Amino acid sequence: MSNQVLTILRDAVDATCVLTDPDVMTGYVRDWTGRFVGRTAAVVRPANTAQVAAVVQACAQHEVALVPQGGNTGLAGGGVPTRGEILLSLRGLSDILQVDVAAGQATVGAGVPVGVLREAASAAGLGYGVDLASRDSATVGGTVATNAGGLRVLRYGDTRAQLLGVEAVLGDGSVVSHLAGLARDNTGYHLPSLLAGSEGTLGVVTAVRVRLTPATRARAVGLIGLASVPDAVAAASLLRNGLPGLAAAELMLPPGIDLVMRACRLSPPLRGTHAAYLLVEVTGDAPGEDGAGGNGPLDILADAVAGLPGVADASLADDRPGREALWAYRERHTESINTCGTPVKMDVTVTPDALPSFVEAVPAAVRAVAPEASTWLFGHVAEGNVHVNVTGAAGVGERVEDTVFRLVAERGGSISTEHGIGTAKRRWLPLNRSPAEIAAFRRIKQALDPAGILNPNVLLPAL
Ligand code: MLT
Ligand code: ZN
């Protein structure tokens, strides 16, 4: 990196937005898991869209690659400058620009944390459909870039499903902005859909217009112990088909529950140990609120659980502390796994009928290539989304990934559900995408980023 580029970056933004102190940069060049550690000559923190555009334009002119980054909570290495790229942090674009109650929408800067957007929606009597354990750090722009899903995809869909408009800086520094939030708008290509999940390779998202959801009046959470994984998968399907208010269905297994209890000093959630655990959340009216003396979510959930096959024990709660205590066994999986060492993280999807055989096959397949490793499986079972985390696989991480991704592909599944392809999975993209599709992806990339400077080392396989 020449001093000339640093000068150009300092000219493009305020010089104080260009950070070069190695101590300050450390927190930007290493991912949350510790698996991806990069390096950069500068972290640039623009304060507004015009500054982002100026940085991108300067980089395009001088053919300097950059990696956009939000809250640095990504899990696939897509926000880390692994090849010495300039790090473009969007955290400075942190304004809630509008909460439009009449339209049920909000416009926010890309650097707003998901939790802050959720609080702003809640203060207006509304909600935001995407929620995830990293809500306080993960930024809205980052969740657009990865098309994050999180805990309530079952009810509200993924991040792409929330998007009504985006503002983004394309690879030549031009700004595309379409934030009016019209509920119906078929005037050409839907750039929000294209940019969602593009992992900063096509444009740098600077602001988004999202739909908000009606506020939830009452909710109940249940943690259910079941006799087998097939029972848990069947229970999730029965609940999804039978309960219109089902908002979440999460699968956990005994090793993960035990680890969370040890790492977070929690007591057992249920009596005894069970082959599979299902955490479910049901939303609805408070009891009697519909004027007809109807049941609230707790009664609805209790009735539904009583009718499920394979249930050995269950704990239900509808008060906030009780709900949060049950959710902790699921939400704290990620941090607990990190206490066992740097994890190899995969997030894959298979169809419900393939899910039990996949869950059974993975630990043995991992052991065959990494005998010392531990495999942790959990995830968003209603979508068939399994998080496969492997610790103790130092030196054989890629063999582990190759093994698991092939099990997924054999079952017609997806190797990347909600964390993105990043740098971690790009070489396996052909397991899911044909040569013709990848060629089309490259042509889109060339059109929107002609200089090839936007996150050039993620998503598409190296040529
Ligand atoms: C989650 O759902 O908790 C994360 O996406 C999974 C992970 O940490 O692997
Ligand atoms: Zn997840």
Q: What is the pLDDT along the chain (463 residues), one digit of tens a residue?
A: 568 889 989 999 989 999 999 999 999 999 988 999 999 999 999 999 999 999 999 999 999 999 999 999 999 999 999 999 999 999 999 999 999 999 999 999 999 999 999 999 999 999 999 999 999 999 999 999 999 999 999 999 999 999 999 999 999 999 999 999 998 999 999 999 999 999 999 999 999 999 999 999 999 999 999 999 999 999 999 999 999 999 999 999 999 999 999 999 999 999 999 999 999 999 998 887 766 667 899 999 999 999 999 999 999 999 999 999 999 999 999 999 999 999 999 999 999 999 999 999 999 999 999 999 999 999 999 999 999 999 999 999 999 999 999 999 999 999 999 999 999 999 999 999 999 999 999 999 999 999 999 999 999 999 9
Residue of the CA atom closest to atom 9 of ligand 1 = 387
- Ligand 1 atom nearest the C-alpha of 331 is 3
73 CB near ligand 1 (under 6 Å): no
Per-residue pLDDT, 285: 84
Per-residue pLDDT, 344: 97
User: Could you tell me the pTM of the whole model?
Assistant: 0.96
- Phi first, then psi, for residue 252 (nearest 5°) are -135, 160
Amino acid at 331: E
389 CB near ligand 1 (under 6 Å): yes
41 alpha carbon to ligand 1 midpoint, in Å? 31
- Ligand 1 atom nearest the C-alpha of 419 is 5
- Pocket probe for ligand 1: among 75, 134, 279, the residue whose CB has the most ligand atoms within 8 Å is 75
Identify which ligand lies nearest to the alpha carbon of 346. 1
345 CB near ligand 1 (under 6 Å): yes
**Residue 156 and residue 258: Cα distance in Å, rounded?**
30
Per-residue pLDDT, 286: 82
334 CB near ligand 1 (under 6 Å): yes
291: left (phi over 0), alpha (psi -120 to 50) or beta: left
Identify which ligand lies nearest to the alpha carbon of 138. 1
387 CB near ligand 1 (under 6 Å): yes
Identify which ligand lies nearest to the alpha carbon of 334. 1
154 alpha carbon to ligand 2 midpoint, in Å? 12
174 alpha carbon to ligand 1 midpoint, in Å? 34
Residue of the CA atom closest to atom 2 of ligand 1 = 150
151 alpha carbon to ligand 2 midpoint, in Å? 7
CB-based contact 124:114 (threshold 8 Å)? no
211 CB near ligand 1 (under 6 Å): no
